[in-house]
Amino acid sequence: MRVRSTLLLVVISLLAGVNVSLAFDLPRVLQPLPGEVWLKRGETADDVFILLKLDRTGELFSNSQFATWIKYVDDLSASHPAREKTTISKLTSYFGDEPLSNMIIAAQRNPETQVLATDLQTRQLQYWLDNKKAPADVFKLLELSKAGDKLLENPLATAWLSYATNFKEKTMSKVDESIPILTTHYGDEALSTILIRAMKTPSTANVAGKLHNEQIQLWLDAGKRPRDVFKFLALDKAGDKLLENPQFATWLTYLDDFNSKNTRISRIAVMTNYFGDDKLTAMLFDAMRSPSTAKLAANLQDEQIKRWLYTEKSPRDVFQFLSLSKAGEKLFDHPQFMKWVSYVDDLNTANPDKRTSLMSVLAAHYDSDGLIKMLESAKNVPGSAKLIRELETEQKWLAKGTPDAFFKQLKLDKFDDDVLSNPQLKTWINYMKEYNAANPKYKATLIGTMAANYGELNLVSLLDKATHVKDTAGAAKKLQSELFQRWMQKGWTPEYLFTNVFHLAQEKDELFTNPLVITWGKYLSAYNRENHGKETTIWTMLAATGVDIELVERMVGQLPSDTFSMLRLAEKGDDLLASPQFATWIQYLDDFYLTFPDLRRTMMKTVRRHHDDKSLVKMIISGMKVSSTEKIAKRMERELLKDWNVSRKTRTPDEIFEGLDLELAGKTLFASPFLEIWIQYMATYYKQKPDMIRTFLKYYDEDELFQMIKTAKSNPTTEKLASDVEHALSLYKKN
């Protein structure tokens, strides 16, 4: 006991020598910390929160006891992880998501509480992620919806983007990706503007660039139109430096990707939509002067010229677009002049009916003396001699007038069904030939000039009527053929002519009474002859244009007969099978029934209106003897046998036998060409051969039939047929 007392005195003495006051505080130092006491007592987080008076109104983060409470809750959760809630879950239950988030964000702005607030915000984000709170909701909770144009400068934006990425990995939800959410909040254009601006700032360039790429992919997936994306990227405000704008390259890539998945859209068409031809052309000129954009600008100008051709911009307009109207006396030295010359050549080739001479455009900008001087001085320019000669020739003819102008002078442009009989037409044709000889680039044609002055439909009507007039029939048929060639050169398919020129798709009930159908049919044949593999039929047209199927069904019984008559096949008599028109008619039926299988009929329904059985069999037999008609004769034979079978309820084999006059053949029965086809019918559709013998015995007695068989067997040409009948007869007798 004395030892312990002595030791205590020594310790006290030492303490007294070091720091007397510490000796007096020793009981307090040796006491356990409050958190340890609370843990031993089993105090809850709620109890300690109240104990530390944190529930009172005021700034939570400015209260020094708040950090103590956080540590206690952390220790409590660590001791009882399954039972106790986390710090954030408790705070959320006290204040709610939004108020708590607002408190944390406010505390982050205070240097004294920034560290603690940032730590709690990290915990809060993890808490939201664990509870799968949607990124769109978190965006609002972090007050990013108030960030405006400075979104990416807000440090919380980085935290939110990380949250959205983690959320996607956790849930695999594309709906909750960052770009769709930002687009919902800002809209495509505003968001794009924010990102593009942020890409120019070093601190935000990387994240903005990544988001911008994601935005473009979202546009592509959504099928956003290139013209809209052009505006989203603010390229409509890029001005003269459009091609130098880095977003222009982005747009070009987007357009290529879009075109690979959708109907192709021209980049020049979009650019023209925003800037117009004049301004865009000027922008391309400027870009061609810069080494970095010269190649791209030249390619775009080539596309622009092709678009002008497609939209048939007039040579006068293009002359203006290319700034040639400002070239003055240096016109032939202007770098765009030869492009304009090529444009006019290409336009005239594509539109032979609307040819424009170079000189007619130049004459609008220069007087006669000025042109002569320019042409004279240009003769010294290398490689221009041929062009100058052409221009000089045009200048001379310009005074006389073009064929189209002369056509009008002769008043031939006034529509008249008798124009082919007009003596003035010959005068014009002679003038046209002279003009064409002198101006090989601008060759005029009669058919083209007539079409330009009368219109397609009037011209078709005129030629159709002229083909029925003896004096003009030859010329009209020739012009009709030229008209068909002209349509083909213009790329007019039968479908295009049917729908867009003749407007036959609108005729419905009157379709087959419209005389244009005849001309269309002629063009169809001409087109099919010259476009192997692209053939079409009138029935394809009917199906494609949605003609009323019930209407066709009502007409179908009459149409084959009408066509048969239209082709004058009823007049062919026994030469029917040898007629080329008959083959055409059969093809017509095949095409029709291929399109409308439910309406199928046999050709016999029409043919037998004009020919009886005997006549048909006679034609079939004759047709099989000629190689050119053998195939169609066999086809007709099959159709005839089918027809007999279809009508078997109303026409017995006996009646067909009589229709072929076989009951009157007598001893020449087996020599009759009609017998073989009748027997073939019986063998095909009446499997019981006794039926055939019963017909024979109806008209011939057994002895007579036996004698005819015997005679026929001795003839090589009838031996097989007779043997077949003999075999059938023996079977009949056994039964």
Alpha helix (H) residue ranges in 567-646: 580-595, 604-607, 613-624, 627-646
Mark which of 419, 454, 486 sits at the end of a domain. 486
Tens-digit pLDDT profile for residues 272-320: 999 999 999 999 999 999 999 999 999 999 999 999 999 899 999 999 9
Residue 251, pLDDT > 90, answer yes
| Per-residue pLDDT, 556 | 44
Domain end point (choices 438, 468, 486)? 486
Read off the amino acid at residue 239: G
- Range with lowest mean pLDDT among 41-55, 332-346, 412-426, 561-575: 561-575
Comparing 8-22, 57-71, 713-727, the range with the smallest average pLDDT is 8-22
Per-residue pLDDT reduced to its tens digit, 581-599: 666 666 666 655 554 454 4
Residues of the chain above pLDDT 90, percent: 13
List, for residues 189-213, the tens digit of each pLDDT value.
888 888 888 888 888 889 988 998 9
Last residue of a domain, one of 467, 486, 505: 486
pLDDT band (50, 70, 90) for residue 563: low
Q: Mean pLDDT check: name the lowest of 22-26, 146-150, 422-426, 574-578.
A: 22-26
Cα pseudo-dihedral 135, 141, 144, 146, rounded to 10: 140
User: Residue 705: inside a domain, yes or no?
Assistant: yes
**670 and 709 Cβ atoms separated by less than 8 Å:** yes
Q: Which pLDDT value is given to residue 6?
A: 35
Q: Which residue has the tokens 């010269």?
A: 294
Residue 536 scores a pLDDT above 80: no
Residues with Cβ within 8 Å of residue 97, at least 6 apart in sequence: 128, 133, 141
Note the residue count of the chain.
735
The token pair that represents 501 in the structure block: 């020129």
How far apart, in whole angstroms, are the C-alpha atoms of residue 271 and residue 277? 9
Six token digits for residue 513: 């009474």
Contact, 451 vs 480, CB < 8 A? no
Tell me, yes or no, whether 281 lies in a domain.
Answer: no
Q: State the alpha helices, DSSP H only, in 325-421.
A: 337-350, 358-362, 368-378, 385-400, 403-409
Phi-psi region of 411 (alpha: psi -120 to 50; beta: other; left: phi over 0): left
Answer yes or no: are the C-beta atoms of 656 and 662 closer than 8 Å: no
Half-sphere exposure of 292 (CA within 13 A, CB side): 7
Query: pLDDT tens, 651-679?
Result: 888 888 898 888 888 888 888 888 888 88
pTM above the 0.75 mark?
Answer: no
Is residue 584 within 8 A of residue 567, CB to CB? The reply is: yes
pLDDT at 298: 93
Helix (H, G, I), strand (E, B) or coil at 189: helix
pLDDT confidence tier of residue 18, bands split at 50, 70 and 90:
very low
Distance (Å, rounded) from C-alpha 471 to C-alpha 468? 9
Q: How far apart are CA 542 and CA 545, in angstroms?
A: 5
Under DSSP, is residue 264 helix (H, G, I), strand (E, B) or coil? Answer: coil
Whether residue 298 is contained in a domain is answered as no
Can you tell me whether residue 695 is helix, strand or coil? Answer: helix
Residue 27: pLDDT band by 50, 70, 90 thresholds? very low
Longest dimension (CA), the chain: 165
Structure confidence at residue 328 (pLDDT): 85
Inter-residue contact 608 to 569 (CB < 8 Å): no
Asked whether 154 and 190 are in contact (CB, 8 A), the reply is: no
pLDDT at position 14: 37
Identify the band that residue 163 occupies on the pLDDT scale cut at 50, 70 and 90. Answer: confident
Average of per-residue pLDDT values in the chain: 80
Please give the Cα distance from 389 to 726 (Å, whole number): 93
Question: Per-residue confidence at 29, pLDDT binned at 50, 70, 90?
Answer: very low
The stretch 148-168 carries a mean pLDDT of: 87
Confidence band for 627, pLDDT divided at 50, 70 and 90: confident
Q: Is the distance from CB of 690 to CB of 732 less than 8 angstroms? A: yes
Residue 340, in any domain of the structure: no
> Above 80 in pLDDT, residue 734?
no
CA distance 612 to 647: 14
User: What is the DSSP code string of 419-461?
Assistant: GGG-HHHHHHHHHHHHHHHH-GGG---HHHHHHHHH-HHHHHH
Residue with tokens 């004058």: 568
When pLDDT is cut at 50, 70 and 90, the band that residue 31 belongs to is very low
Nearest 10 degrees: Cα torsion 433, 434, 437, 439: -110
Q: Is the pLDDT of residue 78 over 60?
A: yes
Structural domain including 453 reads 402-486
Higher-pLDDT residue of 602 and 440 is 440
Q: Which secondary-structure segment (H or E) carries 305?
A: helix 294-310
Determine the pLDDT at residue 385.
72
The pLDDT of residue 592 is: 54
Check: CB of residue 422 under 8 Å from CB of residue 412: yes
Q: Which two tokens stand for residue 141?
A: 């909770």
Tell me the average pLDDT across 130-158: 87
Query: What are the helix and strand counts (H, E) for the chain?
Result: 41, 0
CA 490/CA 498 separation, integer angstroms: 15
Nearest one of 8, 6, 32, 103 to 61, comparing CA atoms: 103
Q: Report yes or no on 586 lying in a domain.
A: no
pLDDT of res. 80: 75
pLDDT value, residue 93 = 86
Q: Is the pLDDT of residue 7 over 60?
A: no
Q: Is the pLDDT of residue 267 over 50?
A: yes
In a domain, 504, yes or no: no
User: Please, are residues 233 and 250 in contact by the beta-carbon 8 Å criterion?
Assistant: yes
How many structural domains comprise the chain?
2
At residue 399, the pLDDT reads 62
Confidence of residue 12 (pLDDT cuts 50, 70, 90): very low
State the amino acid at position 65 in one-letter form. Answer: Q
